[in-house]
C-alpha cells in the first residue's frame, strides 16, 4: 500500500505504518452505530437541581480537597467557519452581484457599528447600502486590508465592548472567568489553551495586553500554558475508493483528526480537576455571576461523585484484603463454589456490592450484567468505579446544534450515559430515531473532570477511549472529493469509558459564537 517515500513521510509525522494501515481499514469497515437504550431525560439520566441542591453543590466545591485544578480551553483553528457567510457575500460582490438586504453579509454590514471591533477610523461612517460600501466593510473585516479576521483564531477576535471603553477578546473573557471559579488557594489560576502553532504569537500578544491589568484588578496570578495538537494524531485521508488520497505532489494527505485528538493534550495534564469550555462559549461579564455559580455546581457534583466512588473502592479494598494467616470459608452463597475459599463471597462484601450496584444504576445509569461468581462481580464493580469522572452540563433543547445525552448499551453488556452526535445514530432504526426525536436536552460542552484515581495517581486517559466511536466525513481538496477520519470526540467517544453524570444547567450559561452575527445576541452586548 505504501512506498518508501510514504513510509518516510509517515514516520516523520511521528506515526507508524501500522497506525495508518488501521486508519485505511477503518474507512473500509466504517464505525458501528451506537446502541441506544433511551434518551437521557430528567426522569432518568439528567439531574435537575433545586435551589437547595445548587447551593449545596457549590458549597461542596468550595470545601473540597483536590490535587490541583485548571481550565482547559480548546482554541485551535482559524475562525473561517465563523465568517463563512461573509466570505460568500464578499465573493458575490466581487463578481458584480448585489446582496439581498436579508443576507447574512448584508445584515453584518448594516450592524457593523454594534460589533466590538468596529472603529470609524477603519470602517468609516455608514452612508448607504450600496455594493461598494458593503464590499469595503467585508474586505476590511476579513482580509489584511483591515483586521484580517478571516484567517485569525476565534480566541483573539474582539468579542465584547464595555461601557468603560474596554474591549475584550474571547480569550480575555476566559481569563476573567478563570479567576472567578478556578482560583487556587494561593491566588493563582491555571489555564491550558490548545492552539495551532502558527497562532501562538497572536495569543501571546492578546495575553500580554491584559495580563498586568487583570492581575491587578482581580488580585490573581495567571499561569498560562499553550499546547498544540500533536501532528502524530492527524489521520490519513482516502479517496472515494478508500485508497490513500494523494496530493498534487503524489504525497499522502493527512488531516487534523478533530477535537478527539485533544484527549492526548488532556492526558498530559498533572492537575486532578479540569474544567473544559470551548473558546467561543463566553458572555459579557455581567452574566458571570450566574455562569460561575453553575460552573461551581458542576465542579461540586464532580467532586462529590469522585469522593463517593473513591470511598466505595477503599471499602472494597478493606473487605477484600486477606489478613495474614487467616482463612475464610463461606458456603451457601449463590454463584459461589464453597470449595474455593475467598473473601469476595462474604456477606459484608456482597452487601456492599448490592449498595454499589444500586448507586451505579440510580445515579449513573450503569446497569451491570449478572456475574457468574462473587469474585467476578467484585472485579466488574471495581472496574466501573475506578475510572475518570466527568460531569457535563445539559441545557434544554432549543434547536441549537450540539450532541445529545443518551443511555446506551455498552460492549460488555452494561449500560452507561453518553453524549452522542447525530452521525453516531442509525436513522434507519425506528428505536434510535424515536429516541433522538424524544431527547429533551443537548450538550453545550460545559464539562468538568476528575482525572486522578483513588490512590492519587493520574489515569491514563487513552485507556478509556472507545475507538469505535469515531466519524467519517466527506471533504474536498482542491476540488477533489475525499473522506476524512475523525478520532472519537473529546466529549463523547474519547470519554466513553468514564463515569458520567449529566446535570441540567440554564440556557443562559450557553452563549457560543458560531457565526459572527451571534455577537449581536444580548449575552454579547451591553
Helix H or strand E encompassing 465: none
- State mean pLDDT over 448-474: 95
Neighbour-count burial for 208-219, b at 16+ CB within 10 Å, e otherwise = eebeeebbeebe
**The pLDDT of residue 320:** 85
Asked if the model's pLDDT at residue 336 lies above 50, the reply is no
**Average pLDDT of 103-114?**
96
> How far is it, in rounded angstroms, from Cα 283 to Cα 513?
10
Q: What is the pTM of this model?
A: 0.92
345 vs 377: CA distance, rounded Å = 10
Q: Which three cell numbers stand for residue 236?
A: 490519513
For the segment 415-441, the average pLDDT, to the nearest whole number, is 90
Buried/exposed 416-437: b ≥16 CB within 10 Å, e otherwise: bbbbbbeebbeeeeeebeebbe
Residue 458 pLDDT exceeds 60: yes
Q: Which domains does the chain have, with CATH numbers?
A: 27-78+169-309+385-506 (3.90.550.10), 81-151 (no CATH)
Kindly indicate the confidence band of residue 341, based on its pLDDT and cuts at 50, 70 and 90: very low
| φ, ψ of residue 184 in degrees (nearest 5) | -80, 165
| pLDDT, tens digit, 9 for 90 and up, residues 149-163 | 999 999 999 999 999
- Choice between 405 and 259, residue whose per-residue pLDDT is larger: 405
User: Which residues lie closer than 8 Å to 357 by C-beta, 6 or more apart?
Assistant: 368, 381
> pLDDT tens, 14-43?
999 999 999 999 999 999 999 999 999 999
Question: Residue 325: its pLDDT value, please?
Answer: 46
Alpha carbons 279 and 284: distance in angstroms, whole number = 14
Confidence of residue 322 (pLDDT cuts 50, 70, 90): low
pLDDT, one tens digit per residue, over 43-56 is 999 999 999 999 99
pLDDT at 331 over 80: no
What's the rounded mean pLDDT across residues 460-473?
Answer: 93
| Residue 399 scores a pLDDT above 80 | no
Q: Taking 50 as the threshold, does the pLDDT of residue 340 lie above it?
A: no
Mean pLDDT over all residues of the chain?
A: 92
pLDDT at 472 over 80: yes
> Of 88, 86, 91, 174, nearest to 516 (Cα)?
86
Instruction: Provide the strand spans (E) within 357-477.
Output: 389-396, 404-409, 415-420, 441-442, 446-450, 471-477
pLDDT higher than threshold 50 for residue 324? no
**Beta carbons of 160 and 284 less than 8 angstroms apart:** yes
pLDDT at residue 401 in the model? 57
Amino acid at each position: 500500500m505504501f512506498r518508501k517515500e510514504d513510509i518516510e513521510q509517515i514516520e516523520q509525522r511521528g506515526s507508524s505504518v501500522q497506525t495508518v494501515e488501521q486508519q485505511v481499514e477503518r474507512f473500509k469497515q466504517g464505525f458501528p452505530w451506537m446502541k441506544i437504550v433511551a434518551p437521557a431525560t430528567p426522569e432518568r439520566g439528567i439531574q435537575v437541581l433545586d435551589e437547595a441542591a445548587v447551593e449545596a453543590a457549590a458549597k461542596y466545591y468550595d470545601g473540597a480537597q483536590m490535587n490541583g485544578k485548571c481550565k482547559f480551553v480548546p482554541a485551535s483553528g482559524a475562525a473561517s467557519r465563523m465568517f463563512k457567510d461573509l466570505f460568500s457575500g464578499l465573493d458575490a460582490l466581487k463578481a458584480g452581484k448585489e446582496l439581498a438586504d436579508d443576507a447574512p453579509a448584508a445584515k453584518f454590514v448594516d450592524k457593523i457599528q454594534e460589533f466590538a471591533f468596529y472603529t470609524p477610523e477603519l470602517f468609516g461612517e455608514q452612508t448607504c447600502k450600496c455594493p461598494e460600501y458593503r464590499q469595503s466593510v467585508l474586505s476590511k473585516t476579513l482580509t489584511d486590508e483591515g483586521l484580517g479576521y478571516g484567517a485569525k483564531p476565534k480566541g483573539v477576535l474582539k468579542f465584547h465592548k464595555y461601557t468603560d471603553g474596554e474591549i475584550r477578546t474571547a480569550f480575555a473573557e476566559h481569563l476573567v472567568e478563570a479567576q472567578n471559579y478556578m482560583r487556587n488557594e494561593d491566588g493563582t489560576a491555571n489555564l491550558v489553551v490548545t492552539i495551532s502553532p502558527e497562532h501562538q504569537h497572536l495569543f501571546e500578544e492578546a495575553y500580554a495586553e491584559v495580563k498586568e491589568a487583570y492581575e491587578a484588578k482581580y488580585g490573581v496570578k495567571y499561569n498560562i500554558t499553550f499546547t498544540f495538537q500533536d501532528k502524530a494524531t492527524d489521520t490519513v485521508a482516502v479517496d472515494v475508493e478508500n485508497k490513500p488520497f494523494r496530493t498534487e505532489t503524489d504525497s499522502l494527505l493527512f488531516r487534523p483528526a478533530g477535537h478527539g485528538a485533544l484527549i492526548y493534550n488532556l492526558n498530559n495534564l498533572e492537575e486532578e480537576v479540569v474544567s473544559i469550555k470551548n473558546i467561543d462559549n463566553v458572555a459579557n461579564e455581567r452574566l458571570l455571576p450566574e455562569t460561575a455559580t453553575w460552573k461551581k455546581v458542576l465542579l461540586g457534583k464532580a467532586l462529590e461523585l469522585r469522593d463517593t466512588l473513591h470511598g466505595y473502592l477503599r471499602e472494597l479494598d478493606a473487605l477484600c484484603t486477606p489478613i495474614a494467616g487467616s482463612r475464610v470459608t463461606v458456603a451457601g452463597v449463590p454463584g459461589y463454589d464453597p470449595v474455593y475459599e475467598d473473601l469476595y463471597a462474604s456477606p459484608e462484601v456482597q452487601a456492599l456490592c448490592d449498595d454499589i450496584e444500586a448507586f451505579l444504576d440510580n445515579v449513573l445509569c450503569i446497569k451491570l450484567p449478572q456475574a457468574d461468581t462473587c469474585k467476578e462481580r467484585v472485579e466488574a464493580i471495581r472496574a466501573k468505579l475506578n475510572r475518570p469522572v466527568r460531569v457535563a452540563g445539559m441545557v434544554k433543547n432549543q434547536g441549537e446544534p450540539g450532541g445529545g445525552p443518551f443511555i446506551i448499551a455498552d460492549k460488555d453488556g452494561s449500560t452507561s450515559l453518553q453524549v452522542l452526535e447525530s452521525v453516531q445514530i442509525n436513522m434507519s432504526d425506528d428505536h434510535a430515531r424515536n429516541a433522538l426525536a424524544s431527547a429533551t436536552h443537548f450538550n453545550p460542552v460545559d464539562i468538568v473532570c476528575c482525572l486522578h484515581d483513588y490512590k492519587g495517581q493520574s489515569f491514563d486517559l487513552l485507556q478509556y477511549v472507545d475507538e469505535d466511536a469515531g466519524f467519517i466525513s466527506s471533504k474536498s481538496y482542491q476540488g477533489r472529493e475525499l473522506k476524512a477520519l475523525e478520532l472519537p470526540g473529546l466529549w463523547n467517544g474519547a470519554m466513553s469509558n468514564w463515569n458520567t453524570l449529566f446535570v441540567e444547567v440554564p440556557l443562559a450559561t450557553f452563549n457560543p459564537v458560531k457565526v459572527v452575527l451571534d455577537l449581536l445576541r444580548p449575552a454579547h452586548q451591553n
